[in-house]
Amino acid sequence: MENSNENIKFGICPECKVRYNDSSEKKLYQCPYCKGWFCEKHVEPKLVITWSAIERTRDRILKEKLYEEWRKEGHHPCSIWTMQYFESLEIKEKEEREKFLKALDNIEKRKKSNQYSKSLEVSKRKISPKDVAIILMLILLIYFIAVRNITISIFILLVLALIAVIFR
C-alpha cells in the first residue's frame, strides 16, 4: 500500500466500527479498488463471498483458495477487488475449459471413428453362420412337424438350442 500523503487521512474506520464498535479516529488509507477509507489493519481487500457460496464451489482447488481468503484476518470485504479476482479467475478458467474441451473433442472424434469401424464390422457379418444354421433347422423342424415325426422334431429343437448357446 502506498503511503503518500494523498492516500492518508484521519477518521473512523468503517470496518473497525462495524466489527469492534470502535469509533475512534485513526490514520486511514484509501483502498485503490473501492476507494473506501480504512485503518491499516483493514485497508487490504478481501473477497465478498458467503460461506455457503464457498461450500457450493465444486472445483476443489478454487474452494481451497476461497477458504484461504475467507480465513484472512483483518482486511475489508471489497466488491471491486472481488470482481477483479473472479474476472482474472474466469480468464484462467476459460483457458482451462478450452484445453479441456479440446481434449474432450479429440476423445469424441476417436470414439466416433471407433463406432464407425465397429458398424462396418457388424454390417460385414450381417448374415452369420448362426443365422443360416437356425433358418435351415427351422425349415427342417417345420417339415418334420408337418410329417408328424416327433422324435426328429425334438432332436432338431435340441440342435437349435445348442446353436443358440454356442453362437451366442
- Residue ranges in contact with Zn ion by CB under 5 A: 13, 15-16, 31, 33-34, 39, 41-42, 45, 78
Select 20 or 67, whichever has its Cβ closest to Zn ion.
Answer: 20
Select 39 or 141, whichever has its Cβ closest to Zn ion.
Answer: 39
Smallest gap from residue 46 Cβ to Zn ion (A):
9
The four Cα atoms 36, 38, 74, 60 give a dihedral, to 10 degrees, of 20
Q: How far is CA 81 from CA 11, 12, 48, 52, in A?
A: 23, 22, 9, 20
Instruction: State how beta strands 37-38 and 25-30 pair.
Output: antiparallel
Smallest gap from residue 82 Cβ to Zn ion (A):
9
Select 31 or 156, whichever has its Cβ closest to Zn ion.
Answer: 31
Smallest gap from residue 7 Cβ to Zn ion (A):
13
The 3-state DSSP composition of the chain as helix, strand, coil percent (nearest 5) reads 65, 10, 25
Residue 29 and residue 40: Cα distance in Å, rounded?
Answer: 7
Select 15 or 85, whichever has its Cβ closest to Zn ion.
Answer: 15
Identify the residue whose cell numbers are 489493519: 41
Smallest gap from residue 91 Cβ to Zn ion (A):
21
